């Protein structure tokens, strides 16, 4: 159940009352504890009475050691099969908390309260959970739906502009694979100056796009691949940035990756230059660019060949657009067009 | 899919052909590697071509460290979402392999080949998997069905009489909760002198009892509790034995626990003494007894109060029998009848 509300405390207590758990446990990270938890504890009866498990923040801690810690805390506070876990935080907390809940006593119920725009639009929807394992992202995990995901812009007030833009990249992706009209609207919106009510409406619409694909393909074997639009380039940009020891956030990488994917869509499927130019200009103005040179192009292509979402070794699979709203999955790409797209990216975004 | 066959190699290769995986990986333990794997490798094409992951045997190794090792081996041999895991071994291997498969890349397919009678009749059926965690049995796990479970008595030739009797205790349990006729037949059978074809028929019938309960109650919230018949006493016997540092196998504990549960059923529900006497005599002749004194009775009751399957703290929940074939779950038991049942056990089984 997905709830969009700016009365988050009331919504949460209603959900807890509906589920009638034996006990409630909150999972959060040490950042969220400071920013969000005091308010939750003072305004939600369910949270005020709950035991709190706090983990260290960041993707580097999304691993089996932290899950071990969560399991141990659940055990030691006497959690039963009828305990409810509230995951309060960004995507790291909702991914890891979902996995811990799905596996503790063969599965306890959980509610996600995403506190970042990125988690609200992406990680808290779709039933995927997971942890990183020996350098592989989300290598271990399950599919399991939360009892409810409560999405509220009330949590976003303490986010920086960069954090808002990270989440907005996924909203732009949903628009691009969904319709020209929605794409136009989002390219005219300034996320860093959001108002609660308009953002909540945009979020509802954006999450509905993801839900549509997830419902059509719950186990991610076909149509859902459209949600990977821009991600093959994005992962390569992230890997190159990591190699240079100056990490690039996933949201920014997706914003840049979709520029490259639109260029490739133009080369392969004649995606209109008008849309390409409008989108690239928006990204350049808001996000800047990812800096690389033509010497990096073969390195980036090599990263793409090893992307875990490639099913065939050697070939690179892309999601492309005929135009906004018309995604094409598994399109075979002419080899020469991949370096060509990256070269054109350099021309447009330098 | 459950297959009962004494042409196990052919059945396995047929299943692998049907599932058409990208690769096959075998999970087994160091005991099974010696006894069973050479034959499997020489007679099954699927196994001959497979990478083998070997773990240390025994319940003490059914933990997250071993699962970490399995995940790492799967990663390092290039397993994909389309890899098939073959769990070849006893309940420890099928429980742990099921959990590793259910969580690797959010779930890969697996087949169980139970090599002990206990695993064939119990652990490989029902979709439960799991590992122990900080002294709590099966505290971490999921529900996930194997693609197939292949049950064959061909694997049982190297089992000791004690190992056969361990599995037979669960078959006796299935009979007791199922019918007088089946109970009579099993009390007249000598498992230590089994013949392949008759045992395969008995197994088919016995597993069907478990399947009936699992199908009626897949998430173990009601009717399936009947499968816990004898287990409240059995867990207490196991805990007392553990405290004395002379562990009692689960199968034997269940055989003894069902004697106590039948006595309690007689006290509470007038379960006929004829059935009680026949069953107790069979257990005494085949399994011997679990030795304790009246001074241990309060200790045993205390263990029962802390059994994890008790939902209400303090109260002890029992599955009882009106007679073989008529189980009663969640029957409220008069407090004085629990020590009375244990005292009567001492009289009958000493």
Tell me the mean pLDDT in the region B76-92. 94
What is the average pLDDT score of chain B?
Answer: 93
Interface of B with A in 287-346 (CB under 8 A): 311
Which has the closest alpha carbon to B100: B91, B90, B110? Answer: B110
Q: For residue A304, with 0-12 CB atoms within 10 Å meaning exposed, 13-18 middle and 19 or more buried, which class applies?
A: buried
pLDDT at A312 over 70: no
A209 φ, ψ (degrees, to nearest 5): -65, -50
Mutate to test the interface with B, among A123, A135, A140 (most CBs of B within 10 A): A140
Beta strands A131-133 and A136-140 are antiparallel
* A252 contacts A224 by C-beta, under 8 angstroms: no
pLDDT at B152 over 90: yes
pTM for the full model?
0.89
Q: Which residue has the higher pLDDT, A350 or B228?
A: B228
The SS3 of residue A88 is strand
Contact list, B75 vs chain A (CB under 8 Å): 133-134, 136, 139
Low-confidence winner among A109-113, A159-163, A211-215, B162-166 (lowest mean pLDDT): A211-215
Q: Is the Cβ pair B104, A128 closer than 8 Å?
A: no
* A101 contacts A144 by C-beta, under 8 angstroms: yes
The SS3 of residue A348 is helix
Q: What is the pLDDT of residues B310-321, one digit of tens each?
A: 555 456 779 999
Which pLDDT score is estimated for B258? 98
CB-nearest partner of A64 from B68, B107, B139: B68
pLDDT at A257 over 50: yes
Tell me what ipTM this predicted complex has. Answer: 0.87
Which pLDDT score is estimated for A311? 53
Give the integer Cα–Cα distance in Å for B7 and A340: 58
Which has the closest alpha carbon to B95: B146, B51, B50? Answer: B146
Q: Is the Cβ pair A103, B103 closer than 8 Å?
A: yes
Q: What are the structural domains, with CATH classification, of chain B? A: 2-159 (3.40.50.1970), 166-349 (1.20.1090.10)
Which pLDDT score is estimated for A332? 82
Give the integer Cα–Cα distance in Å for B1 and A69: 36
What is the share, in percent, of chain A residues with pLDDT greater than 70? 97
Q: What is the pLDDT of residues A115-125, one digit of tens each?
A: 999 999 987 67
* B241 contacts B247 by C-beta, under 8 angstroms: yes
pLDDT at B124 over 90: no
HSE toward the beta carbon, residue B63, CA cutoff 13 A: 11
Which pLDDT score is estimated for B308? 61
Q: What is the pLDDT of residues B6-50, one digit of tens each?
A: 999 999 999 999 999 999 999 999 999 888 899 899 999 999 999
Which pLDDT score is estimated for B311? 53
pLDDT at A313 over 50: no
* B64 contacts B124 by C-beta, under 8 angstroms: no
Give residue B309's pLDDT band: very low, low, confident or very high (50, 70, 90). low
* B224 contacts B214 by C-beta, under 8 angstroms: yes
Tell me the mean pLDDT in the region A285-296. 95
Give the integer Cα–Cα distance in Å for B164 and B158: 10
Q: H/E/C letters for each residue in B214-242?
A: HHHCCCCCCHHHHHHCCHHHHHHHHHHHH
Q: Which residues of A136-166 are buried (b: 16+ CB within 10 A; e: fewer)?
A: eebbbbbbbbbbbbbbbbebbeebeeebbbb
Min Cα separation B257/chain A (Å): 24
Q: H/E/C letters for each residue in A199-213?
A: HHHHHHHHHHHHHHH
Which pLDDT score is estimated for B126? 79
Residue with tokens 């995951």: A87
The SS3 of residue B110 is strand
Give the integer Cα–Cα distance in Å for A83 and A74: 9
User: How many CB atoms sit inside 10 A of residue B96's CB?
Assistant: 27
Give the integer Cα–Cα distance in Å for B139 and B65: 14
Tell me the mean pLDDT in the region B123-147. 89
Give the integer Cα–Cα distance in Å for B314 and B316: 7
Q: What is the pLDDT of residues B268-294, one digit of tens each?
A: 999 999 999 999 999 999 999 999 999
Q: Is the Cβ pair B311, A75 closer than 8 Å?
A: no
Q: Is the dihedral of CA A192, A198, A204, A208 positive or negative?
A: negative
∠ Cα B119 B122 B123 (to 5°): 60
Give residue A50's pLDDT band: very low, low, confident or very high (50, 70, 90). very high
Q: Which residue has the higher pLDDT, B247 or A176?
A: A176
Interface of B with A in 97-136 (CB under 8 A): 99, 102-107, 128, 130, 133-134, 136
């Amino acid at each position: 159940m997905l709830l969009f509300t700016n009365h988050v405390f009331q919504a949460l207590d209603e959900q807890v009352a509906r589920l009638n758990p034996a006990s409630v446990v909150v999972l959060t990270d040490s950042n969220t504890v400071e920013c969000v938890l005091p308010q939750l504890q003072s305004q939600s009866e369910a949270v005020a009475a709950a035991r709190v498990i706090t983990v260290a923040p960041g993707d580097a801690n999304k691993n089996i050691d932290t899950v071990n810690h969560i399991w141990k805390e659940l055990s030691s506070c006497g959690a039963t099969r009828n305990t409810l876990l509230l995951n309060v935080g960004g995507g790291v907390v909702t991914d890891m908390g979902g996995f811990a809940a799905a596996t503790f006593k063969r599965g306890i119920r959980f509610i996600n309260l995403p506190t970042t725009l990125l988690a609200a639009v992406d990680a808290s929807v779709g039933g995927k959970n997971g942890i990183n394992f020996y350098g592989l992202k989300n290598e271990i995990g399950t599919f399991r739906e939360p009892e409810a995901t409560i999405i509220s812009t009330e949590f976003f007030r303490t986010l920086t502009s960069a954090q808002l833009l990270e989440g907005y990249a996924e909203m732009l992706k949903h628009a691009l694979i969904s319709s020209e009209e929605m794409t136009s609207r989002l390219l005219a919106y300034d996320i860093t100056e959001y108002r609660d009510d308009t953002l909540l409406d945009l979020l509802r619409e954006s999450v509905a796009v993801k839900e549509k694909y997830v419902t059509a393909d719950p186990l991610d074997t076909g149509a859902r691949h459209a949600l990977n639009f821009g991600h093959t380039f994005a992962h390569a940009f992230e890997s190159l940035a990591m190699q240079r020891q100056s990490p690039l956030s996933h949201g920014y990488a997706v914003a840049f990756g979709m520029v490259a994917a639109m260029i490739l869509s133009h080369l392969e499927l004649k995606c209109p230059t008008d849309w390409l130019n409008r989108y690239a200009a928006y990204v350049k103005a808001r996000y800047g660019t990812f800096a690389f040179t033509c010497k990096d192009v073969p390195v980036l292509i090599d990263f793409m060949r090893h992307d875990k979402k490639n099913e065939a070794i050697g070939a690179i699979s892309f999601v492309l657009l005929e135009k906004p709203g018309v995604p094409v999955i598994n399109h075979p790409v002419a080899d020469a067009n991949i370096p060509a797209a990256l070269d054109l990216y350099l021309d447009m975004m330098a």
